[in-house]
Amino acid sequence: MPREAIKKLYYSIGEVSEVTDLKQYVLRYWESEFPQLSPAKNRAGNRTYREKDIELVTFIKTLLYEKKYTIEGARQKLKELQEKGQPLNITSLEEPVAQAPPAPEAVPDAPVQAAPAPAAAPALSPNGSIEKERYRKFLLQLRGDLKSLADLLDA
């Protein structure tokens, strides 16, 4: 159901379920896991979600399903964003691009050594997993590359 189709003050859990494409029991579970998500209840005891509640549900869904946060990680991210006063939207999840540190001044007598080529990341299987042995070899290669880089920096 398109979200623009419904414009009213309060939404039932069924309507929110349809709009967000989540099951009602998931919404109720998230209420117990995320203190920020606590829709009011009417006199009959039914949950009444406001637009801000729906936005929060959508943001939590993005954290959990698209960004692959754990529930604990999503809870911490929500808390962190609220403490910073940042809006709860996808753009607040993007990390600022770090600038590269300035290049060190060249030492005239120091020999120039080429950095080792980085290890190629192992390919993922169709289900998204990596074979243990290939991953182990990749990590060992990566560790060796990092040690070589550390040695270059110490020189």
Domain ranges of the chain: 3-93, 115-155
Cα distance between the two ends of the chain? 63
Residues in the chain: 155
Our measurement of the distance from residue 32's CA atom to the centroid of its chain's CA atoms, rounded to an integer in Å, reads 20
Round to whole Å and give the CA distance between 120 and 104.
27
Structure-block tokens of residue 131? 């074979």
The residue type found at 81 is L
With beta carbons less than 8 A apart as the criterion, state whether 37 and 56 touch. Answer: yes
Contacts of residue 52, defined as CB under 8 A and 6 or more positions apart, other chains included, come to none
- Give the DSSP letter of residue 11: B
How much is the average pLDDT of 54-82?
Answer: 91
Tell me, what's the pLDDT at 28?
Answer: 94
* CA distance linking residue 17 with residue 13, whole number of Å: 6
pLDDT above 70 as % of the chain: 66
CATH number of 3-93: 1.10.1660.10
Structure tokens at 46: 């039914």
Q: In this predicted model, what pLDDT tens digit does every residue of 79-135 receive, in sequence order? A: 888 888 877 766 666 655 555 556 556 555 555 555 555 556 555 555 555 667 777
For residue 37, pLDDT over 70 is answered with yes
Q: Residue 138 has what pLDDT?
A: 74
For residue 91, give both structure tokens.
């753009």
Residue corresponding to tokens 């939404």: 11
Residues 31, 38 contacting (CB under 8 angstroms)? yes
Three-state secondary structure call for residue 47: strand
Q: Are 148 and 117 in contact (CB under 8 A)?
A: no
Q: What is the pTM of this model?
A: 0.56
